[in-house]
Amino acid sequence: MKKILGVVLAAIIIVVPPGWTKAADADLPVPIQKYNNIRYYSMGVSTEERRTLPQLYPLKLIFATDQGHMLCDADVTVSAGGKTIFRGRAENGPWLIIDLPPGGYDIEAILDGKTRTAKGVVITAGKKRTVNLKWKTTEVRMGLKDNPEK
């Protein structure tokens, strides 16, 4: 019995590559982008997307209104020590997943000309971090291209 269990475990180790809980970048249905060798992607929040697009990288930014409406197309800048280390855009949905190394960061997101910031965001090795950035519903178009009120 022990020998069979050992063979089964060995087969699993051989078949399942290291990091098996993370899908390979090439396997994702959205493009992995890079800025200064920092990988990132944006995604939606549907059940299907959450199932097929796990949070591969340590930082998840969520863009929404104060009433809970999800937002996309935020332009994001991440700095460390006063230097910009990342720029990207949440173009595929309200979540932006960024592969930042451990450290402290300041985040700025701009949507419809309105800025939101998160200062002193700490990324710790081996841990996921989520930062919510919220705008007042009256400040943003919420994805509507022909908003006559704006």
pLDDT at position 10 is 39
pLDDT at position 122 is 98
For the entire predicted model, the pTM comes to 0.75
Q: At residue 150, what is the residue type?
A: K
Q: Which residue is associated with the tokens 């180790």?
A: 13
Digit-by-digit pLDDT tens for the chain (150 residues) are 444 444 333 333 333 333 333 445 556 667 889 999 999 999 887 767 666 667 789 999 999 999 999 999 999 999 999 999 999 999 888 999 999 999 999 999 999 999 999 999 999 999 999 999 999 998 888 655 444 444
CA 50/CA 15 separation, integer angstroms: 25
Q: Is residue 2 part of a domain?
A: no
Q: At residue 127, what is the residue type?
A: K
Q: Is residue 146 part of a domain?
A: no
Pick from 109, 55, 112: nearest CA to 79: 109
pLDDT at position 50 is 66
Domains: count for the chain: 1
The torsion angles phi and psi of 119, rounded to 5 degrees, stand at: -100, 145
Output the 3-class SS for 18-87. CCCCCCCHHHCCCCCEEECCEEEEEECCCHHHHHHCCCCCCEEEEEEECCCCECCCCEEEEEECCEEEEE
pLDDT at position 21 is 37
Q: Is residue 7 part of a domain?
A: no
Domain span at residue 80 reads 22-137
CATH number of the domain within which 99 lies: 2.60.40.10
Q: Is residue 114 part of a domain?
A: yes
pLDDT at position 46 is 72
